[in-house]
Amino acid sequence: MTIFAFEAQESWLQTVAGKVCSAVEVEEATLHLHFGATQPDENAMLTAERTVSMHGVWRIERAEELVAGSGDLETNGAASRLAFITGATLERFEVSQPGFDLDLFFSGQVVVRSFPCNAREYAEDDIEDDTDITVSWWIDGVGVPDDWEEHYDPPGV
């Protein structure tokens, strides 16, 4: 089921490719990359046309430089440190199996990598409680349903 969730998220990535990053936020262990028009929500966090979020283990590279990593990035001031991504275009993405590693390749030789490393994320069994579905990265935005499982037809079904 959680693999199903990853596959559903992967299906939305195509809608982000080619878009320009408009803002970056860091919320505790989660990195949010916003694309398109943004506006603040009731919690003063941004919502956007598209948002790619990474939770857990991630790293940002620029050419041969390591810019930021989830292991030692302090939330305070992180967004300003990562502001250089704003204005960069998401040129392409790669999702690698079996781990659903996500690599986002931006203009300016910027690469943002997510490294899922909890085997629970790869459970194929049915999960009774939706809160047990865990993925390390996901897509939000206009037209992206929260109840994605109601709107996704997995391949071969």
Partner 1 sequence: MASGFQTIGKNTMTRQAFEAQTRLVQRLTGRTCSQVAIGDNDELVIDFGELEQTGPGEFDGEAWLIVECPWRLETDTDVLCGWENEEDEIPEKTSVLIGHQAGEATVRRPGFDLTLRFANGYRLRVFPDCVSYYADDTASLSIPWYVGGKVITEAEKG
The overall longest dimension of the chain from CA atoms, in Å, is 46
Min CB(17)–partner 1 separation in Å: 23
Please report, as residue ranges, which positions from 44 to 73 form the binding site for partner 1 (by CB under 8 A): 56-59, 61, 63-73
Min CB(81)–partner 1 separation in Å: 10
Q: Residue 143: CA atoms inside 13 Å, Cβ hemisphere, count? A: 5
Of 103 and 140, the one with the shorter C-beta distance to partner 1 is 103
Min CB(57)–partner 1 separation in Å: 4
Min CB(130)–partner 1 separation in Å: 20
Interface residue with partner 1, options 75, 80, 94, 120 (CB under 8 A): 120
- Tell me the window of 10-18, 46-54, 86-94, 113-121 that interacts with partner 1 (CB under 8 A): 113-121
Of 17 and 57, the one with the shorter C-beta distance to partner 1 is 57
Question: Residue ranges of the alpha helices (H) in 14-122?
Answer: 78-81
Q: Give SS3 for 17.
A: coil
Q: What is the DSSP letter of 23?
A: E
Provide the sign of the torsion angle of the four alpha carbons 147, 150, 153, 157, taken in this order: positive
- Specify the amino acid at residue 67: V
4 near partner 1, judged by CB under 8 A: no
Structure tokens at 143: 């037209």
Q: What is the DSSP letter of 69?
A: E
Residues that bind partner 1 (CB under 8 A): 56-59, 61, 63-73, 97-99, 113, 115-122
